[in-house]
Chains A and B, each alone.
Chain A
Protein backbone atom coordinates (compact mmCIF):
# COMPACT_ATOMS: atom_id res chain seq x y z
CA UNK A 1 0.00 0.00 0.00
CA UNK A 2 1.20 3.48 -0.84
CA UNK A 3 1.90 5.94 1.95
CA UNK A 4 0.05 9.17 2.60
CA UNK A 5 1.73 12.20 1.10
CA UNK A 6 -0.43 14.99 2.47
CA UNK A 7 -1.29 16.43 5.85
CA UNK A 8 -4.91 16.56 6.91
CA UNK A 9 -4.98 20.27 6.13
CA UNK A 10 -3.54 19.78 2.64
CA UNK A 11 -5.93 16.92 1.96
CA UNK A 12 -9.01 18.89 2.99
CA UNK A 13 -7.93 22.00 1.09
CA UNK A 14 -7.25 19.90 -1.97
CA UNK A 15 -10.76 18.37 -1.90
CA UNK A 16 -12.44 21.71 -1.29
CA UNK A 17 -10.50 23.19 -4.23
CA UNK A 18 -11.74 20.31 -6.42
CA UNK A 19 -8.35 18.73 -6.84
CA UNK A 20 -7.37 15.12 -6.21
CA UNK A 21 -5.81 14.50 -2.78
CA UNK A 22 -3.58 11.49 -1.94
CA UNK A 23 -6.71 9.89 -0.45
CA UNK A 24 -10.17 11.11 0.41
CA UNK A 25 -10.18 13.41 3.46
CA UNK A 26 -12.34 12.15 6.31
CA UNK A 27 -14.34 14.55 8.45
CA UNK A 28 -17.18 12.93 10.39
CA UNK A 29 -19.52 15.41 11.98
CA UNK A 30 -19.32 14.49 15.60
CA UNK A 31 -21.97 14.14 18.27
CA UNK A 32 -20.60 13.97 21.81
CA UNK A 33 -23.34 11.61 22.89
CA UNK A 34 -22.31 9.11 20.19
CA UNK A 35 -18.63 9.67 20.98
CA UNK A 36 -19.27 9.01 24.67
CA UNK A 37 -21.04 5.75 23.91
CA UNK A 38 -18.21 4.57 21.68
CA UNK A 39 -15.57 5.28 24.33
CA UNK A 40 -17.62 3.72 27.12
CA UNK A 41 -18.75 6.93 28.83
CA UNK A 42 -22.24 7.96 29.88
CA UNK A 43 -23.09 11.18 28.10
CA UNK A 44 -25.82 12.06 30.57
CA UNK A 45 -23.10 12.30 33.21
CA UNK A 46 -20.96 14.59 31.03
CA UNK A 47 -23.57 16.79 29.37
CA UNK A 48 -23.61 19.52 31.99
CA UNK A 49 -20.00 19.25 33.08
CA UNK A 50 -18.77 22.11 30.93
CA UNK A 51 -17.68 22.47 27.36
CA UNK A 52 -14.26 20.89 27.66
CA UNK A 53 -15.80 17.62 28.88
CA UNK A 54 -17.42 17.42 25.44
CA UNK A 55 -14.22 18.19 23.56
CA UNK A 56 -12.24 15.77 25.71
CA UNK A 57 -14.71 12.95 24.98
CA UNK A 58 -14.52 13.59 21.26
CA UNK A 59 -10.71 13.65 21.41
CA UNK A 60 -10.84 10.32 23.23
CA UNK A 61 -12.85 8.88 20.37
CA UNK A 62 -10.45 10.42 17.86
CA UNK A 63 -7.56 8.63 19.55
CA UNK A 64 -9.38 5.34 20.06
CA UNK A 65 -10.24 5.09 16.37
CA UNK A 66 -6.88 6.25 15.05
CA UNK A 67 -7.94 9.77 14.14
CA UNK A 68 -9.20 11.41 10.96
CA UNK A 69 -8.64 14.64 9.06
CA UNK A 70 -11.28 17.26 9.76
CA UNK A 71 -12.65 18.16 13.17
CA UNK A 72 -15.03 20.77 14.55
CA UNK A 73 -16.04 21.88 17.98
CA UNK A 74 -18.98 20.06 19.61
CA UNK A 75 -22.50 21.21 20.30
CA UNK A 76 -23.27 20.99 24.01
CA UNK A 77 -26.55 21.75 25.81
CA UNK A 78 -25.04 25.08 26.87
CA UNK A 79 -24.20 26.02 23.29
CA UNK A 80 -27.83 25.43 22.31
CA UNK A 81 -28.97 27.42 25.34
CA UNK A 82 -26.77 30.35 24.33
CA UNK A 83 -28.66 30.35 21.05
CA UNK A 84 -31.97 30.60 22.90
CA UNK A 85 -33.03 27.07 22.03
CA UNK A 86 -34.73 24.86 24.56
CA UNK A 87 -33.16 21.43 24.67
CA UNK A 88 -33.80 18.19 26.50
CA UNK A 89 -31.52 17.14 29.32
CA UNK A 90 -29.71 13.98 28.19
CA UNK A 91 -30.62 10.92 30.25
CA UNK A 92 -29.80 7.24 30.14
CA UNK A 93 -33.09 6.55 28.32
CA UNK A 94 -32.66 9.48 25.97
CA UNK A 95 -28.95 10.32 25.72
CA UNK A 96 -29.16 12.65 22.74
CA UNK A 97 -29.67 16.42 22.91
CA UNK A 98 -33.01 17.20 21.29
CA UNK A 99 -34.48 20.60 20.58
CA UNK A 100 -37.87 21.15 22.22
CA UNK A 101 -39.59 23.23 19.63
CA UNK A 102 -42.19 25.64 20.94
CA UNK A 103 -43.50 29.00 19.85
CA UNK A 104 -41.10 31.01 21.98
CA UNK A 105 -40.91 33.86 19.47
CA UNK A 106 -44.17 35.57 18.49
CA UNK A 107 -45.16 37.26 15.22
CA UNK A 108 -44.56 40.72 16.73
CA UNK A 109 -40.93 39.74 17.39
CA UNK A 110 -40.12 39.90 13.68
CA UNK A 111 -40.06 43.69 13.95
CA UNK A 112 -37.63 43.57 16.87
CA UNK A 113 -35.39 41.15 15.00
CA UNK A 114 -35.53 43.24 11.83
CA UNK A 115 -34.58 46.35 13.74
CA UNK A 116 -32.06 45.08 16.27
CA UNK A 117 -30.95 41.68 15.06
CA UNK A 118 -31.36 38.12 16.29
CA UNK A 119 -28.50 38.25 18.78
CA UNK A 120 -30.05 41.21 20.56
CA UNK A 121 -33.43 39.45 20.52
CA UNK A 122 -31.92 36.28 21.99
CA UNK A 123 -30.16 38.05 24.84
CA UNK A 124 -32.88 40.58 25.66
CA UNK A 125 -36.02 38.53 25.05
CA UNK A 126 -35.71 34.92 24.01
CA UNK A 127 -33.44 33.43 26.68
CA UNK A 128 -35.60 34.82 29.44
CA UNK A 129 -38.71 33.31 27.84
CA UNK A 130 -37.07 29.92 27.40
CA UNK A 131 -34.98 29.59 30.56
CA UNK A 132 -36.12 32.38 32.87
CA UNK A 133 -34.35 35.51 34.04
CA UNK A 134 -31.88 33.74 36.33
CA UNK A 135 -30.27 32.01 33.35
CA UNK A 136 -29.12 35.38 32.01
CA UNK A 137 -26.67 35.56 34.92
CA UNK A 138 -24.96 32.40 33.67
CA UNK A 139 -24.33 33.63 30.14
CA UNK A 140 -20.96 35.21 30.90
CA UNK A 141 -19.65 32.06 32.52
CA UNK A 142 -20.85 29.87 29.63
CA UNK A 143 -19.22 32.16 27.06
CA UNK A 144 -15.94 32.14 28.96
CA UNK A 145 -15.99 28.38 29.42
CA UNK A 146 -16.73 27.82 25.73
CA UNK A 147 -14.03 30.24 24.62
CA UNK A 148 -11.35 28.83 26.94
CA UNK A 149 -12.24 25.23 26.14
CA UNK A 150 -12.32 25.87 22.40
CA UNK A 151 -8.79 27.22 22.43
CA UNK A 152 -7.54 24.29 24.46
CA UNK A 153 -9.41 21.81 22.26
CA UNK A 154 -8.03 23.34 19.12
CA UNK A 155 -4.49 23.04 20.48
CA UNK A 156 -5.05 19.41 21.46
CA UNK A 157 -6.46 18.44 18.06
CA UNK A 158 -3.68 20.30 16.25
CA UNK A 159 -1.10 18.35 18.26
CA UNK A 160 -2.74 15.20 16.92
CA UNK A 161 -2.50 16.33 13.31
CA UNK A 162 -6.20 17.08 12.76
CA UNK A 163 -7.41 20.22 11.05
CA UNK A 164 -10.22 22.45 12.18
CA UNK A 165 -12.85 22.74 9.49
CA UNK A 166 -14.99 25.51 10.95
CA UNK A 167 -15.26 27.36 14.28
CA UNK A 168 -18.88 26.41 14.82
CA UNK A 169 -21.96 25.56 12.80
CA UNK A 170 -23.77 28.85 12.33
CA UNK A 171 -27.51 28.55 11.87
CA UNK A 172 -29.03 29.93 8.69
CA UNK A 173 -31.49 32.78 9.45
CA UNK A 174 -34.36 30.81 7.87
CA UNK A 175 -33.68 27.76 10.05
CA UNK A 176 -33.13 29.87 13.14
CA UNK A 177 -36.50 31.55 12.75
CA UNK A 178 -38.15 28.21 12.11
CA UNK A 179 -36.70 26.85 15.35
CA UNK A 180 -37.63 29.87 17.46
CA UNK A 181 -41.15 30.26 16.05
CA UNK A 182 -41.66 26.46 15.63
CA UNK A 183 -42.02 24.97 12.19
CA UNK A 184 -45.78 25.17 11.75
CA UNK A 185 -45.99 28.77 12.97
CA UNK A 186 -43.00 29.84 10.89
CA UNK A 187 -44.56 28.24 7.82
CA UNK A 188 -47.76 30.16 8.49
CA UNK A 189 -45.66 33.33 8.67
CA UNK A 190 -44.02 32.58 5.31
CA UNK A 191 -47.44 32.34 3.70
CA UNK A 192 -49.49 34.82 5.70
CA UNK A 193 -47.02 37.56 6.73
CA UNK A 194 -44.11 37.25 4.31
CA UNK A 195 -42.81 40.82 4.47
CA UNK A 196 -42.17 40.60 8.19
CA UNK A 197 -40.20 37.40 7.75
CA UNK A 198 -38.25 38.78 4.83
CA UNK A 199 -37.20 41.90 6.75
CA UNK A 200 -36.04 39.84 9.71
CA UNK A 201 -34.06 37.47 7.50
CA UNK A 202 -32.27 40.38 5.82
CA UNK A 203 -31.12 41.79 9.17
CA UNK A 204 -30.09 38.34 10.34
CA UNK A 205 -28.16 37.78 7.13
CA UNK A 206 -26.15 40.97 7.65
CA UNK A 207 -25.57 39.98 11.26
CA UNK A 208 -24.47 36.46 10.36
CA UNK A 209 -21.98 37.75 7.81
CA UNK A 210 -20.46 40.17 10.32
CA UNK A 211 -20.29 37.55 13.08
CA UNK A 212 -18.99 34.80 10.82
CA UNK A 213 -16.21 36.96 9.44
CA UNK A 214 -15.18 37.92 12.96
CA UNK A 215 -15.05 34.27 14.08
CA UNK A 216 -13.18 33.26 10.96
CA UNK A 217 -10.56 35.99 11.22
CA UNK A 218 -9.97 35.18 14.86
CA UNK A 219 -8.86 31.62 14.19
CA UNK A 220 -8.37 31.32 10.44
CA UNK A 221 -10.41 28.18 9.84
CA UNK A 222 -10.75 26.39 6.52
CA UNK A 223 -14.44 27.13 6.07
CA UNK A 224 -17.52 28.57 7.73
CA UNK A 225 -20.17 26.00 8.69
CA UNK A 226 -23.78 26.91 7.99
CA UNK A 227 -26.63 24.63 8.94
CA UNK A 228 -30.02 24.47 7.26
CA UNK A 229 -32.37 21.56 7.77
CA UNK A 230 -35.67 22.85 6.47
CA UNK A 231 -35.52 25.19 3.50
CA UNK A 232 -35.10 22.49 0.86
CA UNK A 233 -37.64 21.06 -1.55
CA UNK A 234 -38.52 18.29 0.87
CA UNK A 235 -40.59 20.87 2.75
CA UNK A 236 -41.00 24.02 0.70
CA UNK A 237 -41.85 24.91 -2.91
CA UNK A 238 -39.31 26.72 -5.02
CA UNK A 239 -41.14 30.03 -4.77
CA UNK A 240 -40.58 30.00 -0.99
CA UNK A 241 -36.98 28.87 -1.42
CA UNK A 242 -36.35 31.50 -4.06
CA UNK A 243 -37.76 34.29 -1.98
CA UNK A 244 -36.71 33.49 1.58
CA UNK A 245 -33.60 31.35 1.31
CA UNK A 246 -31.61 31.48 -1.85
CA UNK A 247 -31.07 35.27 -2.23
CA UNK A 248 -29.90 35.56 1.37
CA UNK A 249 -27.76 32.46 1.07
CA UNK A 250 -26.09 33.92 -1.99
CA UNK A 251 -25.43 37.12 -0.07
CA UNK A 252 -23.78 35.10 2.70
CA UNK A 253 -21.73 32.90 0.36
CA UNK A 254 -20.58 35.79 -1.79
CA UNK A 255 -19.68 37.98 1.18
CA UNK A 256 -17.50 35.23 2.63
CA UNK A 257 -16.06 34.30 -0.73
CA UNK A 258 -14.97 37.91 -1.22
CA UNK A 259 -12.62 37.22 1.72
CA UNK A 260 -11.67 33.80 0.38
CA UNK A 261 -13.83 31.97 2.95
CA UNK A 262 -15.78 28.94 1.82
CA UNK A 263 -19.16 27.99 3.25
CA UNK A 264 -19.68 24.39 4.37
CA UNK A 265 -23.44 23.98 3.90
CA UNK A 266 -24.89 21.35 6.22
CA UNK A 267 -28.08 20.46 4.36
CA UNK A 268 -30.31 17.93 6.10
CA UNK A 269 -33.41 16.37 4.50
CA UNK A 270 -33.89 16.03 0.76
CA UNK A 271 -32.45 18.82 -1.43
CA UNK A 272 -32.83 17.12 -4.82
CA UNK A 273 -34.90 20.00 -6.19
CA UNK A 274 -32.50 22.67 -4.91
CA UNK A 275 -29.04 21.42 -5.79
CA UNK A 276 -29.04 23.16 -9.18
CA UNK A 277 -29.17 26.58 -7.50
CA UNK A 278 -25.74 26.03 -5.94
CA UNK A 279 -24.21 26.15 -9.39
CA UNK A 280 -24.77 29.91 -9.21
CA UNK A 281 -22.08 30.15 -6.54
CA UNK A 282 -18.48 30.69 -7.65
CA UNK A 283 -16.53 27.50 -8.40
CA UNK A 284 -14.88 26.11 -5.28
CA UNK A 285 -16.62 28.58 -2.97
CA UNK A 286 -18.62 26.07 -0.95
CA UNK A 287 -18.98 22.49 0.25
CA UNK A 288 -22.33 20.76 0.10
CA UNK A 289 -22.88 18.39 3.03
CA UNK A 290 -25.73 15.90 2.52
CA UNK A 291 -27.35 13.56 5.04
CA UNK A 292 -28.21 10.46 3.04
CA UNK A 293 -31.67 11.56 1.92
CA UNK A 294 -30.64 13.74 -1.03
CA UNK A 295 -29.55 11.74 -4.07
CA UNK A 296 -25.84 12.40 -3.73
CA UNK A 297 -24.96 10.79 -7.05
CA UNK A 298 -27.38 13.04 -8.95
CA UNK A 299 -26.07 16.00 -6.93
CA UNK A 300 -22.53 15.17 -8.00
CA UNK A 301 -23.50 15.21 -11.66
CA UNK A 302 -24.97 18.67 -11.22
CA UNK A 303 -22.07 20.02 -9.19
CA UNK A 304 -19.19 18.14 -10.84
CA UNK A 305 -16.09 20.29 -11.10
CA UNK A 306 -17.95 23.13 -9.42
CA UNK A 307 -18.40 22.43 -5.68
CA UNK A 308 -17.03 19.86 -3.26
CA UNK A 309 -19.51 17.44 -1.65
CA UNK A 310 -19.25 15.94 1.80
CA UNK A 311 -21.13 12.78 2.25
CA UNK A 312 -23.54 11.22 3.41
CA UNK A 313 -23.54 7.94 5.30
CA UNK A 314 -27.11 7.26 6.33
CA UNK A 315 -27.71 6.97 10.11
CA UNK A 316 -29.47 3.63 9.62
CA UNK A 317 -26.45 2.21 7.78
CA UNK A 318 -24.16 3.44 10.56
CA UNK A 319 -26.47 2.02 13.26
CA UNK A 320 -27.86 -1.18 11.77
CA UNK A 321 -25.70 -2.02 8.76
CA UNK A 322 -22.79 -4.42 8.54
CA UNK A 323 -19.13 -3.35 8.21
CA UNK A 324 -18.97 -4.86 4.72
CA UNK A 325 -21.99 -2.80 3.68
CA UNK A 326 -20.30 0.31 5.09
CA UNK A 327 -17.09 -0.50 3.25
CA UNK A 328 -18.98 -1.05 -0.02
CA UNK A 329 -20.86 2.24 0.32
CA UNK A 330 -17.73 4.24 1.17
CA UNK A 331 -15.95 2.71 -1.82
CA UNK A 332 -18.85 3.67 -4.05
CA UNK A 333 -18.70 7.24 -2.74
CA UNK A 334 -14.96 7.42 -3.32
CA UNK A 335 -15.25 5.96 -6.82
CA UNK A 336 -18.28 7.86 -8.01
CA UNK A 337 -18.30 11.14 -6.05
CA UNK A 338 -14.58 11.44 -5.41
CA UNK A 339 -13.34 10.20 -8.79
CA UNK A 340 -12.24 13.71 -9.74
CA UNK A 341 -11.57 14.92 -6.19
CA UNK A 342 -14.18 17.16 -4.62
CA UNK A 343 -15.24 14.67 -1.93
CA UNK A 344 -14.95 14.70 1.85
CA UNK A 345 -16.03 11.46 3.49
CA UNK A 346 -18.49 12.39 6.20
CA UNK A 347 -21.40 11.12 8.24
CA UNK A 348 -24.96 11.84 7.08
CA UNK A 349 -25.80 14.60 9.57
CA UNK A 350 -23.84 13.90 12.76
CA UNK A 351 -22.60 10.55 14.05
CA UNK A 352 -25.70 8.75 15.36
CA UNK A 353 -25.82 7.61 18.97
CA UNK A 354 -26.69 4.06 17.91
CA UNK A 355 -23.52 3.85 15.78
CA UNK A 356 -21.90 0.42 15.78
CA UNK A 357 -18.19 0.74 16.53
CA UNK A 358 -17.33 -1.70 13.74
CA UNK A 359 -19.25 0.40 11.20
CA UNK A 360 -17.54 3.64 12.19
CA UNK A 361 -14.21 1.86 12.03
CA UNK A 362 -15.07 0.49 8.60
CA UNK A 363 -15.87 3.99 7.39
CA UNK A 364 -12.56 5.36 8.65
CA UNK A 365 -10.51 2.41 7.41
CA UNK A 366 -12.03 2.49 3.95
CA UNK A 367 -11.37 6.22 3.69
CA UNK A 368 -7.78 5.81 4.83
CA UNK A 369 -6.81 2.78 2.79
CA UNK A 370 -8.99 2.24 -0.29
CA UNK A 371 -7.29 4.64 -2.69
CA UNK A 372 -3.82 4.10 -1.29
CA UNK A 373 -4.13 0.36 -1.81
CA UNK A 374 -4.69 0.88 -5.54
CA UNK A 375 -1.78 1.30 -7.97
CA UNK A 376 -0.81 4.96 -8.47
Chain B
Protein backbone atom coordinates (compact mmCIF):
# COMPACT_ATOMS: atom_id res chain seq x y z
CA UNK B 1 0.00 0.00 0.00
CA UNK B 2 2.79 2.39 1.00
CA UNK B 3 4.86 1.54 -2.06
CA UNK B 4 1.90 2.07 -4.37
CA UNK B 5 1.27 5.51 -2.95
CA UNK B 6 4.95 6.49 -2.95
CA UNK B 7 5.54 5.36 -6.51
CA UNK B 8 2.39 7.23 -7.52
CA UNK B 9 4.01 10.47 -6.35
CA UNK B 10 7.33 9.72 -7.99
CA UNK B 11 5.70 8.75 -11.28
CA UNK B 12 3.21 11.62 -11.07
CA UNK B 13 0.21 9.31 -11.37
CA UNK B 14 -2.17 11.90 -10.01
CA UNK B 15 -5.50 10.15 -10.55
CA UNK B 16 -4.20 6.89 -9.13
CA UNK B 17 -2.83 8.55 -5.99
CA UNK B 18 -6.02 10.45 -5.30
CA UNK B 19 -8.18 7.39 -5.93
CA UNK B 20 -6.01 5.32 -3.59
CA UNK B 21 -6.34 7.90 -0.84
CA UNK B 22 -10.11 8.07 -1.22
CA UNK B 23 -10.33 4.30 -1.19
CA UNK B 24 -8.24 3.97 1.96
CA UNK B 25 -10.32 6.61 3.73
CA UNK B 26 -13.50 4.81 2.73
CA UNK B 27 -12.09 1.61 4.16
CA UNK B 28 -11.74 3.42 7.49
CA UNK B 29 -7.97 3.74 7.62
CA UNK B 30 -6.59 6.43 9.95
CA UNK B 31 -6.07 9.64 7.95
CA UNK B 32 -2.79 10.37 9.67
CA UNK B 33 -1.44 7.02 8.57
CA UNK B 34 -2.43 7.80 4.97
CA UNK B 35 -0.89 11.24 5.28
CA UNK B 36 2.34 9.71 6.54
CA UNK B 37 2.41 7.48 3.47
CA UNK B 38 1.83 10.51 1.25
CA UNK B 39 4.69 12.26 3.03
CA UNK B 40 6.88 9.24 2.40
CA UNK B 41 6.03 9.69 -1.28
CA UNK B 42 7.15 13.30 -1.13
CA UNK B 43 10.33 12.33 0.71
CA UNK B 44 11.06 9.87 -2.09
CA UNK B 45 10.37 12.62 -4.63
CA UNK B 46 12.83 14.86 -2.77
CA UNK B 47 15.47 12.13 -2.67
CA UNK B 48 15.11 11.50 -6.40
CA UNK B 49 15.37 15.22 -7.05
CA UNK B 50 18.60 15.41 -5.09
CA UNK B 51 19.94 12.45 -7.04
CA UNK B 52 19.13 14.26 -10.29
CA UNK B 53 16.52 11.70 -11.33
CA UNK B 54 13.55 14.05 -10.93
CA UNK B 55 13.50 17.72 -11.91
CA UNK B 56 11.98 20.79 -10.31
CA UNK B 57 8.91 20.69 -12.59
CA UNK B 58 8.25 17.13 -11.50
CA UNK B 59 8.69 18.05 -7.87
CA UNK B 60 6.21 20.84 -8.47
CA UNK B 61 3.65 18.41 -9.93
CA UNK B 62 4.22 15.97 -7.07
CA UNK B 63 3.64 18.89 -4.68
CA UNK B 64 0.34 19.60 -6.41
CA UNK B 65 -0.70 15.98 -5.96
CA UNK B 66 0.33 16.20 -2.31
CA UNK B 67 -1.75 19.35 -1.81
CA UNK B 68 -4.77 17.63 -3.35
CA UNK B 69 -4.15 14.60 -1.14
CA UNK B 70 -4.08 16.78 1.97
CA UNK B 71 -7.31 18.46 0.84
CA UNK B 72 -9.00 15.05 0.66
CA UNK B 73 -7.67 14.02 4.07
CA UNK B 74 -8.19 17.28 5.91
CA UNK B 75 -11.90 16.91 6.81
CA UNK B 76 -11.11 13.56 8.40
CA UNK B 77 -7.94 14.73 10.10
CA UNK B 78 -9.76 17.39 12.08
CA UNK B 79 -11.32 14.58 14.04
CA UNK B 80 -8.03 12.91 14.90
CA UNK B 81 -5.07 14.05 16.95
CA UNK B 82 -2.61 16.36 15.18
CA UNK B 83 0.71 14.93 14.09
CA UNK B 84 3.88 16.26 15.72
CA UNK B 85 5.55 19.04 13.78
CA UNK B 86 9.22 18.73 12.84
CA UNK B 87 9.67 22.47 13.16
CA UNK B 88 8.04 25.80 12.41
CA UNK B 89 8.88 28.05 9.48
CA UNK B 90 7.58 31.37 8.26
CA UNK B 91 7.81 31.93 4.50
CA UNK B 92 7.24 35.22 2.71
CA UNK B 93 7.95 37.14 -0.44
CA UNK B 94 8.51 40.64 0.86
CA UNK B 95 7.11 44.02 -0.07
CA UNK B 96 7.11 44.91 -3.75
CA UNK B 97 7.66 41.39 -5.06
CA UNK B 98 4.76 39.22 -6.17
CA UNK B 99 6.65 36.12 -7.30
CA UNK B 100 5.80 33.01 -5.37
CA UNK B 101 6.56 29.93 -7.41
CA UNK B 102 9.72 28.90 -5.55
CA UNK B 103 8.24 29.80 -2.20
CA UNK B 104 5.15 27.70 -2.88
CA UNK B 105 7.22 24.70 -3.88
CA UNK B 106 9.33 25.00 -0.74
CA UNK B 107 6.20 25.39 1.35
CA UNK B 108 4.66 22.17 0.05
CA UNK B 109 7.92 20.25 0.30
CA UNK B 110 8.38 21.31 3.91
CA UNK B 111 4.80 20.36 4.74
CA UNK B 112 5.49 17.05 3.08
CA UNK B 113 8.38 16.59 5.47
CA UNK B 114 6.22 17.36 8.48
CA UNK B 115 7.12 21.00 9.08
CA UNK B 116 4.49 23.49 10.13
CA UNK B 117 4.58 26.20 7.47
CA UNK B 118 3.21 29.70 7.96
CA UNK B 119 3.13 31.10 4.44
CA UNK B 120 2.50 34.84 4.61
CA UNK B 121 2.17 35.15 0.83
CA UNK B 122 3.63 37.86 -1.40
CA UNK B 123 4.15 41.61 -1.08
CA UNK B 124 4.54 41.25 2.69
CA UNK B 125 5.60 44.08 5.00
CA UNK B 126 8.65 43.28 7.17
CA UNK B 127 6.65 44.25 10.25
CA UNK B 128 4.09 41.53 9.44
CA UNK B 129 6.91 38.98 9.48
CA UNK B 130 8.10 40.29 12.83
CA UNK B 131 4.63 40.07 14.36
CA UNK B 132 4.19 36.52 13.11
CA UNK B 133 7.61 35.60 14.44
CA UNK B 134 6.70 36.95 17.89
CA UNK B 135 3.44 35.04 17.78
CA UNK B 136 4.61 31.60 16.72
CA UNK B 137 8.34 31.60 17.62
CA UNK B 138 9.48 29.84 14.45
CA UNK B 139 12.67 27.86 13.96
CA UNK B 140 13.17 29.35 10.51
CA UNK B 141 12.17 32.34 8.44
CA UNK B 142 12.56 32.09 4.67
CA UNK B 143 12.39 34.97 2.21
CA UNK B 144 11.99 34.42 -1.51
CA UNK B 145 12.91 37.02 -4.16
CA UNK B 146 12.92 37.42 -7.90
CA UNK B 147 13.56 41.15 -8.06
CA UNK B 148 16.27 43.22 -6.45
CA UNK B 149 14.08 45.96 -4.98
CA UNK B 150 13.08 43.48 -2.29
CA UNK B 151 16.66 43.31 -0.92
CA UNK B 152 16.00 46.46 1.06
CA UNK B 153 12.96 44.92 2.75
CA UNK B 154 14.84 41.73 3.48
CA UNK B 155 17.39 43.85 5.27
CA UNK B 156 14.64 45.72 7.13
CA UNK B 157 13.11 42.44 8.26
CA UNK B 158 16.48 41.07 9.37
CA UNK B 159 17.15 44.28 11.30
CA UNK B 160 13.74 44.13 12.98
CA UNK B 161 14.35 40.57 14.10
CA UNK B 162 17.73 41.59 15.45
CA UNK B 163 16.32 44.60 17.24
CA UNK B 164 13.63 42.54 18.91
CA UNK B 165 16.18 39.99 20.09
CA UNK B 166 14.70 37.20 17.96
CA UNK B 167 17.43 36.77 15.40
CA UNK B 168 19.59 34.36 17.43
CA UNK B 169 16.69 31.99 17.91
CA UNK B 170 15.78 31.82 14.22
CA UNK B 171 17.63 30.57 11.16
CA UNK B 172 17.21 33.12 8.39
CA UNK B 173 17.02 31.69 4.87
CA UNK B 174 16.89 33.44 1.50
CA UNK B 175 16.16 31.95 -1.89
CA UNK B 176 15.19 32.81 -5.45
CA UNK B 177 16.66 33.73 -8.78
CA UNK B 178 18.31 37.01 -7.77
CA UNK B 179 19.82 35.74 -4.54
CA UNK B 180 23.40 34.65 -4.11
CA UNK B 181 26.12 34.59 -1.50
CA UNK B 182 26.58 38.38 -1.72
CA UNK B 183 22.99 38.82 -0.56
CA UNK B 184 23.43 36.21 2.17
CA UNK B 185 26.38 38.16 3.54
CA UNK B 186 24.55 41.47 3.16
CA UNK B 187 21.71 40.16 5.32
CA UNK B 188 23.89 38.10 7.62
CA UNK B 189 21.54 35.26 6.73
CA UNK B 190 22.21 31.66 7.68
CA UNK B 191 21.41 30.03 4.37
CA UNK B 192 20.90 30.91 0.69
CA UNK B 193 19.82 28.77 -2.22
CA UNK B 194 18.09 28.75 -5.58
CA UNK B 195 17.17 25.10 -5.01
CA UNK B 196 14.03 24.39 -2.96
CA UNK B 197 15.16 20.89 -2.04
CA UNK B 198 18.42 22.25 -0.66
CA UNK B 199 16.26 24.47 1.55
CA UNK B 200 14.39 21.44 2.84
CA UNK B 201 17.66 19.58 3.47
CA UNK B 202 18.98 22.58 5.41
CA UNK B 203 15.87 22.73 7.62
CA UNK B 204 16.04 19.00 8.33
CA UNK B 205 19.74 19.20 9.15
CA UNK B 206 19.29 22.17 11.47
CA UNK B 207 16.43 20.49 13.34
CA UNK B 208 18.47 17.32 13.71
CA UNK B 209 21.41 19.30 15.06
CA UNK B 210 19.13 21.15 17.45
CA UNK B 211 17.76 17.86 18.79
CA UNK B 212 21.26 16.56 19.41
CA UNK B 213 22.55 19.80 20.93
Count A-B pairs with CB separation below 8 Å.
Answer: 90
**Are B149 and A353 touching (Cβ within 8 A)?**
yes
B153-210 interface with A by 8 A CB criterion = 177-180, 182-183, 186, 194
Size band of the interface chain B makes with A: 20 to 34
Nearest B residue to A319 by beta-carbon distance? B148
Contacts of B86 in A (CB 8 A): none
**Interface: A247 (CB within 8 A):** no
Q: How large is the interface on A (under 10, 10 to 19, 20 to 34, 35 or more residues)?
A: 35 or more
Q: Are B96 and A187 in contact (CB-based, < 8 A)? A: no
Complex Cα spacing A293 to B12, Å: 28
* Partner-contacting stretch, out of A19-27, A278-286, A310-318, A364-372: A310-318
Verify A88–B98 contact, CB threshold 8 A.
yes
Question: Which residues of chain A from 31 to 58 have a CB within 8 Å of any chain B CB?
Answer: none
- Specify which chain B residues have a CB less than 8 angstroms from the CB of A228 in the assembled complex: none
User: What residues of chain B lie closer than 8 Å to A240, measured between beta carbons?
Assistant: 55, 57
CB of B36 within 8 Å of the partner chain: no
Q: Among A93-101, A107-115, A217-225, which stretch is in contact with chain B? A: A93-101
A291 to B178, CA, bound (A): 9
Residue in A88, A98, A187, A316 whose beta carbon sits within 8 Å of that of B178 in the complex: A316
A121 to B115, CA, bound (A): 43
Which one of B12, B56, B57, B186 has the highest number of Cβ atoms from chain A below 10 Å of its Cβ? B57
Interface membership of B152, Cβ < 8 A: yes
Give the secondary structure class of A's interface.
loop
A269 within 8 A of B: yes
B147 CB contacts on chain A under 8 angstroms:
96, 98, 352-353
Q: Does A237 sit within 8 A of B, measured CB to CB?
A: yes
The answer on a CB contact under 8 Å between A316 and B148 is yes
In the bound complex, do residue B96 and residue A316 qualify as a contact, i.e. CB atoms below 8 Å apart?
no
B64 touching A188, Cβ below 8 Å:
yes
Contact of B194 with A293 in the complex, beta carbons under 8 Å: yes
23 contacts between A and B (CB under 8 A): A94-B96, A96-B96, A98-B97, A98-B98, A98-B147, A183-B60, A184-B60, A184-B101, A188-B64, A235-B56, A237-B57, A269-B177, A314-B178, A314-B182, A315-B178, A316-B178, A318-B148, A319-B178, A320-B186, A353-B148, A354-B149, A354-B151, A354-B152
